[in-house]
Amino acid sequence: MKLYFKYLSMLLKCQMQYKVSFTLTVIGQFLVSFTTFLGVYFMFSRFNSVNSFTFPEVLLCFSIVLMAFSITECFVRGFDVFPQLIKSGDLDRILVRPRNEIFQVLTSNVDFTRIGRLMQAVLMLIYAVPVSGIIWSPDKVITIVVMIIGGIVMFSALFVLYAGISFFTIEGLEFMNIFTDGGREFGKYPFSIYGEGVLKFFTYIIPLALFQYYPFLYLTGKSGNIGLIFLPLMGFVFMIPCYSIFKYGIKRYKSTGS
């Protein structure tokens, strides 16, 4: 862990060598997320609620999903750009080093400019908490924390799955963005508004709803089932097959010769 934080410090110093560029990129990331927020705002300026969810409740949901995705994209980006390691031949160097390949992939690409999106998520959360109408208690606070942790694990698992598939395709598969970037975009609203079919898909196939929708029902008082608090922890179970595919890919890996 000490070595990991040392790597993070080195990467941050490297990115801060061009402070103006770094700052502008952070601002750009913030503004991109802000335009999405404006889309939600203008829609609710016309409609009072969407599928019984109010504007503050949707902002609360959106902020949790965006926060989880931003943290994941910052610290697990090495798996998101994993196909580049295969095509460039850099993966060969990673595999012959004594350190664990997971550690090396994680530290190969950390993008601190993603804090722009994280700032947007924090601001939305700060605004939504007092105006959401939720009666806050320790279990509600725990629900938010578990949702964020579960979201980070879920998105991380999807990045790992994407990297595992890349062993067999070499090129990255763009359809995976439907579940990563798309999951962030879809996740700004509770999944139930997209219909029963979409909700079932994101429950049983790509289980993003386990950290986004079901615990959110308990958080907003639309369900009294306290067990929903712990559903986001299923992200750790989802990580198992994703990681297994990645490990299988490593065993079958053949250098591209780059």
Residue 204 lies in a domain: yes
What's the pLDDT band for 219 if we cut at 50, 70, 90?
very high
Within a domain: 29: yes
139 within 8 A of 226, measured Cβ to Cβ? yes
Specify if 44 maps to a domain: yes
Query: 257 in a domain, yes or no?
Result: no
What whole-number percentage of the chain has pLDDT above 70?
A: 97
The dihedral sign for the CA sequence 37, 42, 43, 49: positive
3-state secondary structure 83-136: HHHHHHCHHHHHHHCCCCHHHHHHCCCCCHHHHHHHHHHHHHHHHHHHHCCCCC
Mean pLDDT of 18-30: 90
- Any domain includes 258: no
Q: Are 227 and 139 in contact (CB under 8 A)?
A: no
Among the ranges given (97-106, 151-160, 163-172), the one the predictor scored with the smallest mean pLDDT: 163-172
Mean pLDDT, residues 191-197 taken together = 91
Confidence (pLDDT) at 91: 86
The domain tally of the chain equals 1
Q: Using an 8 Å Cβ cutoff, are 81 and 176 in contact?
A: no
Domain span holding position 122: 2-6+17-251
Alpha helices by DSSP H, listed for the chain, are: 2-15, 19-44, 55-75, 77-80, 82-88, 90-96, 101-106, 115-131, 138-169, 181-186, 196-204, 209-212, 214-219, 235-251
**12 occurs within a structural domain:** no
> Is residue 33 a contact partner of residue 66, using CB atoms and an 8 Å limit?
yes
pLDDT digits (tens, 9 = 90+) for 77-120: 888 888 888 887 788 888 888 888 888 888 888 889 889 999 99
Q: What is the mean pLDDT of residues 217-241?
A: 94
Q: Which pLDDT does position 211 carry in this prediction? A: 95
Residue 70 lies in a domain: yes
- 145 within domain boundaries: yes
Q: What is the percent of the chain where pLDDT is above 90? A: 50
Residue 72's pLDDT is 94
Q: How would residue 257 be classed by pLDDT, with cut points 50, 70 and 90?
A: low
Amino acid 171: pLDDT: 63
pLDDT reading at 153 higher than 90: yes
Q: Which residue has the tokens 């697990």?
A: 76
DSSP 191: G
Residue 176, pLDDT above cutoff 80: no
Return the pLDDT at 145: 96
DSSP code for 189: S
pLDDT in tens, 27-85: 998 988 888 888 888 888 888 888 889 999 999 999 999 999 999 999 998 888 888 88
Q: What are phi and psi of 60, to 5 degrees?
A: -65, -45
pLDDT at 11: 87
